[in-house]
Amino acid sequence: MAPIISAAGVGKTFRQLKRQSGFGGAIKSLFSRDYTEIRAVAGVSFAIEPGEAVGYLGPNGAGKSTMIKMMTGILTPSAGTLSVLGREPHAHRMTNAAEIGVVFGQRSQLWWDLPVRDSYDLNRHIYDIPEARFGDNLAYLTTMLDMASFLDRPVRQLSLGQRMRAEIAMALLHDPKILFLDEPTIGLDVVAKDAVRKFLSEINRDRGTTIILTTHDLVDIEEICPRLIMVDDGKLLFDGELKRLRASLGSRRRLTLEFATDPGPITLTTATLAADDGAAKHFILEDEAVSLIDVLNEVGRGHGLQDVKLEEPDIEEVIRTFYQNKPNLAGPAS
């Protein structure tokens, strides 16, 4: 299958006029041709297949929003080749817009003073959505995003969680093949985040909508995106499954053994003691090949073992380790 999005050596450099201080400086700046170059995206390559859900992750200023803006046609790349649905997005912005949906968490596409429903109606005209399809989609989205109670209320009266659901529905009314989301859960409470994540996973799975999202909330990635693209300083550092990232960093699972009473010091070859709380002993499993059975066999009977808890490393820890070790891991993504 041909990729739905492909980027080959894509770069974006912003040129900013150097400003000089003071009134005299401001006048000089008017005639100056002295620019600072800001390299927001530097030679990024990847290919995304139809139906994938991909998280685009990186620290502040890493170039995530700039990449999303290039894929949606808002910005023109200054280097490389970018293709979205077989077209250069910036050169075919209108055609591209008809086949993609965009949600920017920090910016609204809805009309502030109008009821939500009226913004949707305007979209129906803009995208020329056939009446029946529009009706079906609105009914589906209203149910799935639980919007019935606020469809007729002006956008300015909505809570952030309601507005975000309304934004996502707005971006999907014209059945886009790709949905781009820039920080879709920013500022939402736990319940609202959960609703948004569940819905995005569902349309990805049930309707095959390709999803590309940037986020700082790693749970978004964990729940929606099997694939992760990680960038820093404009460059791509990792492209692959979250599972592979975990494995490449060593899985470092945590194991807690709880005993009826403190059995005294326990040393194991299969696990490293991380903390000793008397009756509860916390270990780290450094070796991925070691199983829980191996550890239990080594602990053996007779210590009054009551409970065992095995935890996978959480995603925050995996990503933190990744960025701490990035000079060793950087290189061509596979």
Ligand X SMILES: Nc1ncnc2c1ncn2[C@@H]1O[C@H](COP(=O)(O)OP(=O)(O)OP(=O)(O)O)[C@@H](O)[C@H]1O
Chain residues binding ligand X by CB under 6 A are 14, 16, 38, 40, 58, 60-66
Select 120 or 322, whichever has its Cβ closest to ligand X. 322
Q: Which of 72/137 has CB closer to ligand X?
A: 72
Q: Please, what is the minimum distance in Å from the beta carbon of residue 125 to ligand X?
A: 31
Q: Describe the crossing of helices 116-126 and 160-172 by its angle, rounded to 10 degrees.
A: 20
> Whole-number minimum distance, CB 113 to ligand X, in Å?
28
Nearer to ligand X, 56 or 259 (CB): 56
User: In one letter, which amino acid is 255?
Assistant: L
Give the count of beta carbons closer than 10 Å to the beta carbon of residue 152.
10
Taking the least distance from each CB to ligand X, the nearer of 70 and 166 is 70
Token readout for 49 is 């297949």
Minimum distance between the CB of residue 47 and ligand X, rounded to whole angstroms?
Answer: 21
Enter the tokens of residue 184.
């879709």
Closest distance to ligand X from the beta carbon of 179 (Å): 18
Angstrom distance (rounded) from CA 199 to CA 182: 16
- Whole-angstrom distance, CA of residue 125 vs CA of residue 132: 13
Q: Which is nearer to ligand X, 11 or 58 (CB)?
A: 58
What is the nearest approach in angstroms of ligand X to the Cβ of residue 191?
24
Least Å distance, CB 147 to ligand X, is 28
Q: Which residue(s) pair with 182 in the sheet?
A: 104, 214
Cα–Cα distance between 308 and 292 in angstroms, integer?
Answer: 9
Say how many C-beta atoms besides its own lie within 10 A of residue 148's C-beta. Answer: 10
**SS3 call for 53:** strand
| DSSP assigned state of 163 | H
Nearer to ligand X, 183 or 223 (CB): 183
